[in-house]
Amino acid sequence: MKIVYSPLHTKHHPPFEFRRGEKIPAFEIPDRVANIVETLRQRSFGEWIGPENMDLPLQKIHDSTYLQFLKEIYPRWHKAELDGDLVPYCWPPSTPIAGKEMPQDIFGQLGYFGGDADTPILAGTWEATYAAAACAATATKLISSGAEQVVFSLSRPPGHHAGKSRYAGYCFLNHAAIACEQLLEDGMEKVALLDIDYHHGDGSQAIFYDRSDVLFLSLHADPDYEYPFFSGRSHEEGIGKGKGYTKNYPLAIGTNWDTYRATLEQAITHIHDFQANALVISLGLDISERDLLGKFKLGDEVFGLLGEICANIALPSVIILEGGYAVQYLGGFTYDFLYHFEQTIMRLQ
Ligand code: OKP
Ligand code: ZN
């Protein structure tokens, strides 16, 4: 299987995040992907390639003011030679009147575009997330050209919480959404985006909420009890043309494999009904019971099973890494998923 990877992910290396007002070591760190690279290479798995130097459909997914903010905020901060970290502390209210205009102040803009205080912007954040988007788009090209049946984009930081004009949940650019857009641009008519990260892919949902060319499906922890709290409920099903093209499956804390598998099978029936031409998978490894943030009860064996189930959807597939924080296990989980995925498509052919 081809794996698209860029070492530029290491340019984004948050030192901390907040928990109950205290700074604690960050969960979303370069070691996550380092463990995956090391494990897959040790097991001689994958044909490794770098991202192509190509035009990315960023403007189709994100607003141009947001892209400009993301690119320029750190250099601007650095130039001002101020102290401290680029983390927002003040957010716009959700009233219809206030909060609509972008302030000029750096912290005003951080609150305007940023969704939470766990997602710092560092000197190399733009470079890292851009490289991750390029990995996703490169993987996509190999699928839309028909050269490959499945490609893995080893993207970091994750992307599925990033909205049109919003960074949050460790995410800045939405790499999975960029992959979907690239597939459509390359001539695919309908794309399914299946998000199996532990957290609801609120950014991906928002980006495609009013569209019928991308079917967004997400299995995730019930937002009543888990980040991102404010979306991912089962009644959210799209709007306008997009009505019926968003499907949410919130799951209880402690969900086991029987429930998870049955729910996934149900989601997959909608991918078939939709008659998708291609599949993008937002692969979160934080569904594991070993995860530091996730609270499902899913054992190590589920990753192989999931690889098999996803491959049996039998669509050209781009797999994109999202979360997963049990650092030393991530390589094993990824290997199991990809290996069983590949074995299954070989059997299908
Ligand atoms: C990103 B991805 C609080 C911990 C939770 C946000 C979780 C983001 C998950 N300090 N913070 O979907 O795996
Ligand atoms: Zn997650």
Model pLDDT, residue 322: 99
pLDDT digit string, tens, across residues 185-203: 999 999 999 999 999 999 9
Q: In residues, how long is the chain?
A: 349
Please give the distance, rounded to the nearest whole angstrom, from the Cα atom of residue 323 to the centre of ligand 2. 4
Structure tokens that stand for 349 in this block: 């052919």
CB 30 within 8 A of CB 75: no
Structure tokens that stand for 270 in this block: 């909608």
Mutate to test the pocket of ligand 1, among 27, 28, 156, 292 (most ligand atoms within 8 A of CB): 27
Instruction: State the catalytic residue, choosing from 12, 161, 200, 340.
Output: 161
User: Residue range 41-68: average pLDDT?
Assistant: 97
pLDDT digit string, tens, across residues 227-256: 999 999 999 999 999 999 999 999 999 999
Kindly tell me if the per-residue pLDDT of 29 is higher than 90: yes
User: Residue range 208-212: average pLDDT?
Assistant: 98
Q: What is the DSSP string of 19-36?
A: ETTEEEE-SS-HHHHHHH
Rg over CA atoms, the chain: 19
In short, whether 159's Cβ falls inside 6 Å of ligand 1 is no
Work out the pLDDT band at 99, boundaries 50, 70, 90.
low
Work out the pLDDT band at 209, boundaries 50, 70, 90.
very high
Strand-pairing partners, residue 3, are 48, 152
User: Residue range 316-327: average pLDDT?
Assistant: 98
Query: What contacts 328, CB < 8 A, 6 or more positions away?
Result: 35
The proportion of the chain whose per-residue pLDDT surpasses 70, expressed as a percent, equals 99
Tokens 């081809």, located at residue: 2
Model pLDDT, residue 290: 98
How far apart CA 293 and CA 239 sit, in angstroms, is: 31
> Which of 265, 267, 245 is closest to 191 using CA atoms?
245
Q: Which run of H or E residues covers position 247?
A: strand 246-251
Work out the pLDDT band at 21, boundaries 50, 70, 90.
confident
Kindly tell me if the per-residue pLDDT of 313 is higher than 80: yes
Burial 2-12 (b: 16+ CB within 10 A, else e): bbbbbebbbbb
Please give the distance, rounded to the nearest whole angstrom, from the Cα atom of residue 277 to the centre of ligand 1. 31
In short, whether 17's Cβ falls inside 6 Å of ligand 1 is yes
Looking at ligand 1, which residue's alpha carbon is closest to its atom 6?
169
User: Residue range 245-273: average pLDDT?
Assistant: 98
User: Residue range 206-233: average pLDDT?
Assistant: 98
User: Residue range 260-271: average pLDDT?
Assistant: 98
Q: What is the dihedral of CA 270, 273, 276, 281, to 10 degrees?
A: 20
Q: What angle do CA 198, 201, 205 make, to 5 degrees?
A: 150
Structure tokens that stand for 297 in this block: 């009860």
161 part of the active site: yes
Kindly tell me if the per-residue pLDDT of 84 is higher than 90: no
Looking at ligand 1, which residue's alpha carbon is closest to its atom 12?
199
Looking at ligand 1, which residue's alpha carbon is closest to its atom 8?
169
User: Could you identify the atom of ligand 1 that is nearest to the CA of residue 284?
Assistant: 13
How far apart CA 238 and CA 248 sit, in angstroms, is: 10
> Average pLDDT of the chain?
96
Q: Which run of H or E residues covers position 319?
A: strand 317-321
Please give the distance, rounded to the nearest whole angstrom, from the Cα atom of residue 282 to the centre of ligand 2. 10
